[in-house]
Amino acid sequence: MSDLTTPLTNPLATPLADVIVIGGPTASGKSGLALAIAEAFGGTVINADSMQLYADLDVLTARPPAEDLARAPHRLYGVLPAAERGSAARWRDMALAEITAARVEGRLPVVVGGTGLYLRALMQGLSEVPPIPDEVRAAAHARLAAIGGEAFRAELVTCDPASAKLNPGDTTRLTRAWEVLQATGHPLSHWQSRTAQGAPEDLRFTILVLDPPRADLYAQCDRRFDLMMEQGAMEEVRRLDALARERPLAPDLPVLKALGVPELRRVLHGEIPLDEAIALAQQSTRRYAKRQVTWFRHQIVGKSPDMLVSHTGQHSCHTIDLPCSPAVRNAMLDRLRTILNY
């Protein structure tokens, strides 16, 4: 058994290299658990949160603070400017490069984030969807803005029945489905069935899914947004809003749709008072957390029940259904020592 404070030794010599993947809803304690694992096993934390990629959003995306960044290497945080569009394909390429770099350095890759599509793309591969022209993307957002989520989804379902499962409030997935259908003539499900990039054959994923009680999660979402306001969220949005007007930035850019940004921009534009914006942002955060919980339960935990039992293949999954307290973290570290044979 190796010293838990030292990096892995010769990771490229093994047929399957271990990668820890931590997923779950926002405000569930993922970053703290990732840091604890990185410190205990000599790891590198690799971001898998689509909004934490952006340099212009620090406070509102709950990016790890400077003191945490100093305790263990952190990668893919704040690496994209606001004007760029992140994607699962782009993130996957960056994440695989960082995983390789960590292995070369003899460190354990610890991938952490709540963007389920990114995590699935990493572990299972990514469907090859043709590029979407900018004019088609703009038309999708214009149509959604004109008729609203419910009508937009109903219109989409007539040509793409699989889209009926999408939440009317999930504008990102709704517009994506519409864009693909309009640009290619085939529904998104058609392309998703044609996996072009398979799962990495040299990596073995141990998946930790945080699934705390709903009441605890929602309360933490509310508390964390209040803390963000104290830490300068409004000033951060003020700078982003100024940038959006100066550049100008396309209104459908991901960075402008991050949790809290639309609501606080409405305050800056004189549309609503601050207390209403905070309440709306907290509500949006809770709804987003609920969608994340559902996604992880269906796509990661519930989709492959055999993943819950043993670590015999390239995947194993372990659900943490308690608030991620220090005691829970320590129990998870003990479990990982057994899984990773430390």
The Cα diameter of the chain in Å comes to: 61
Cα–Cα nearest to 334, from 97, 326, 113, 112: 326
Residue with tokens 């999708």: 140
> Residue 285 annotated as binding?
no
DSSP 298-326: IIIITT-GGGGT--SSSEEEEEE-S---H
CB 265 within 8 A of CB 208: no
| CB burial of residue 146 (10 Å; 0-12, 13-18, 19+) | exposed
Residue 30 annotated as binding? yes
**Do the annotations mark residue 125 as ligand-binding?**
no
Quick count: other Cβ atoms within 10 Å of Cβ 341?
Answer: 9
DSSP 8-state assignment for residue 52: T
Cis preceding-peptide flag for 248 (omega within 30 of 0): yes
106 φψ region: left (φ > 0), alpha (ψ -120 to 50), beta (else)? left
Ligand-binding annotation for 27, yes or no, is yes
The answer on whether 303 is annotated among ligand-binding residues is no
CB 98 within 8 Å of CB 46: yes
Q: Which residue has the tokens 């379902």?
A: 157
Is residue 28 marked as binding? yes
Cα-based distances in Å from 177 to 14, 18, 172, 251, 306: 40, 34, 9, 19, 31
Q: Are 43 and 18 in contact (CB under 8 A)?
A: no
Strand partners, 75: 46
Burial of residue 222 (number of CB atoms within 10 Å: 0-12, 13-18, 19+): middle
Consult the annotation and say whether 26 binds a ligand. Answer: yes
As annotated, the binding site for substrate includes 26-31
Q: Which residues are annotated as a binding site for ATP?
A: 24-31
Q: Which residues are annotated as a binding site?
A: 24-31
